[in-house]
Structure 1
Amino acid sequence: MYLLICNLAAVDILYSSSSSPTMIGVLLAGANTISYVTCLAQMFTFHVAEVMEMFALAVMAFDRVIAISYPLRYHSILTNVRTVALTFVLWVAACLFVSVMPVLVITLPHCRAKLQYAFCDYAAIVRTSCLNPSYYFNLVTIVFFFLLFFTFFFILLSYLWIVFVVLKSAKNESSKVFSTCLSHLIVVACYYVPCFVRIVFTRIGLVLTVEERQGLMIGAILGPSLVNPFVYCFRTKEIKNKLFGIFKKVRPIS
């Protein structure tokens, strides 16, 4: 579990730091230039972190399923070696899925040098091209929607299985199970709710201004990264006690 929390923390750091410095520079400092290579690198890093956020949440749901369904065999099933290997495979898979984006973008002729959004993501770069962007949007949208709904339904099925196990059990441990899964449920909601809100807005034909789109995107990027550390720090007893112990050590002597 702690290895998976560390992986989620690394993903959140990459997710926010890949876009936040540029957004701060554009929105606050007025720094409105970026090199083409740096822009492509930022796009790749941002979308790898975006995909890894889904994978990290899905594998943490799997971790909860094993912990609740097979509590006595938990440490023998999810060993440290297997957890690290699974995490490594997910990072490689995320990079492979996202690698299609720079391949498509590099081949495009660009007629505009100004991005509509405050940082370099795939949609912003494609909109600078001279060609009709529909094909390039549709291709990546199919991949993104597949990953989004696959991971979401995997998490949903995981919790349905957990509910089934709890109802099947003779012991009344529903409150303990709910407490165990609450942290993960909060983190899942913080990531998937903004994603589905954007999808619903798009499907119903609601036209958002550039400022509204940027605000929704910034909230979707920074929201999980801000909430996740607080959730796991205050909901996980061992981490909370460790932090309190550090603060007690550094407390000044009066």
Structure 2
Amino acid sequence: MVVGGAILIAYVLAIFANIVNILFIIYDKRLHKPMYLLICNLALVDILYTSSASPTMIGVLLAGVKTVSYVPCIIQMFVFNVGAVMEMLGVVLTLEERHGLVIAAILGPSLVNPFVYCLRTKEIKYKLFNRFKRVGASR
């Protein structure tokens, strides 16, 4: 009973905080930037995650419901997996925005490895080898 109440309070606080976060981003024009769009996406993912599992746990712990029927279980799994896909999409979009790594992932895994990618660029390769020569000469 106590655990169910704690989960209920945490669930309500999580939903409230994420909704407030989304509303701040929507109503403040200064926050209409890609980074805050991704934060909004992560808040939506958090709402999906907490809403997929917490109501079932609250029902079991507070209301004493001991069974979950087949259709709600499938819906719960679907919502949880949609949240996982949205979270992965948010991470990929963050990497694309910051580093352009989606194109690198499409072109090949050697581009994703920063050391191999640096060695492909002649200027960076020249600077790296000069840095190692100076370190070796100073010893």
TM-score by length of 1: 0.31
Question: Higher helix proportion, which one?
Answer: 2
Determine which structure has greater relative contact order: mean sequence separation of CA pairs < 8 Å that are 6+ residues apart, divided by chain length.
Answer: 1
Larger Cα-atom Rg: 2
